[in-house]
Amino acid sequence: MTFKEKLDAAWAHSASLLMVGLDPDPARFPAELQGRPDAIFEFCRAIVDATAPYVCGFKPQIAYFAAERAEDQLEALCRHIRSHYPALPLVLDAKRGDIGSTAEQYAREAFERYNADAVTVNPYMGHDSVAPYLEWKDRGVIVLCRTSNPGGSDLQFIEDARGTPLYLRVASMVAETWNRDAQCGLVVGATFPTEIARVRERVGDMPLLIPGIGAQGGSVPDTVKAGRDSRGTGMMINSSRAILYAGQGDDWRTAAAEAARATRDAINAVP
């Protein structure tokens, strides 16, 4: 089964467009986990188990694990997700981008070591830097397009001679050439709904990873209206901190589950 097939099936059976981002920050962990050597794994495992009924997939952010020398806990978490929730896509957020020979190693890291269904990549170094990921035909390659942060405008809004901004050139390039085997998706921030709509218009039903609701303040209704594809799906709408840290006390698991359920419902309620 390819990434695209798995994602389509997950949207259908979960009836959810919400992706929970796993960005574990030990400083924000509940008291019961403080000081435990396996705290990162245990925190993320509990969040995954609590929120799984309400999501179309999970997106661990590799920097949070690597900075804590906790790659082994990321491996364990990826194994947990794949064995307990095999129908839910696992997107490794690594935003890689390097020359081809190095990219081959990053691709092995994402797809062999962590066995992710898809990985986020940076398109700035061009096609040969992304080609090694595309060799993994059953995996997804999700390319940064119009990122959610304000500084994304510094480069992504630069226009060519015909007035086309760079992020739309990226969208067209991915849709027309890089996506030969229907593996690609694009990252477009919920904080830029006008741009989500322009990307959607450009790329047809290509999957969009949309971070920026919740902690970054993006509007759920504006995001959904701009990003839906022709089938009413097509979006992995990511929320991390607003779900992970929804509860501060002993109720943190149920608070995360409630936040995920409420976010899924808010997405599904958009007319």
Ligand X SMILES: O=C(O)c1cc(=O)[nH]c(=O)n1[C@@H]1O[C@H](COP(=O)(O)O)[C@@H](O)[C@H]1O
Q: Which residues bind ligand X (CB under 6 A)?
A: 21, 23, 61, 93, 95, 120, 147-148, 187, 189, 211-212, 214-216, 238-242
CB of 187 to ligand X, least distance (A): 5
User: For ligand X, which is the closer residue by CB, 154 or 230?
Assistant: 154
CB of 250 to ligand X, least distance (A): 22
DSSP structural state of residue 159 = B
CB of 116 to ligand X, least distance (A): 13
CB of 259 to ligand X, least distance (A): 11
- Of residues 132, 142, 152, the one with CA closest to residue 174: 142
Question: 160: burial class by Cβ within 10 Å (0-12, 13-18, 19+)?
Answer: exposed
Burial 44-56 (b: 16+ CB within 10 A, else e): bbbbbbbbbebbb
Paired tokens of 199: 């990307």
User: For ligand X, which is the closer residue by CB, 18 or 187?
Assistant: 187
DSSP structural state of residue 222 = H
The secondary element (H helix, E strand) that includes residue 170 is helix 166-173
- Of residues 29, 68, 61, the one with CA closest to residue 46: 29
User: For ligand X, which is the closer residue by CB, 14 or 240?
Assistant: 240
CB of 118 to ligand X, least distance (A): 11
Distance from C-alpha of 119 to C-alpha of 186, rounded to nearest angstrom? 11
**Phi-psi category of 217—alpha, beta or left, where left has phi over 0 and alpha has psi -120 to 50?**
left
Distance from C-alpha of 12 to C-alpha of 9, rounded to nearest angstrom? 5
Greatest alpha-carbon span in the chain: 57
User: For ligand X, which is the closer residue by CB, 13 or 28?
Assistant: 28
User: For ligand X, which is the closer residue by CB, 39 or 213?
Assistant: 213
Catalytic residue among 6, 59, 95, 225: 95
- Residue 95 annotated among the catalytic residues of the structure: yes
Q: Supply the Cα-derived Rg of the chain in whole angstroms.
A: 18
Beta-carbon neighbour count of residue 5 at 10 Å? 11
Catalytic residue positions, numbered: 95
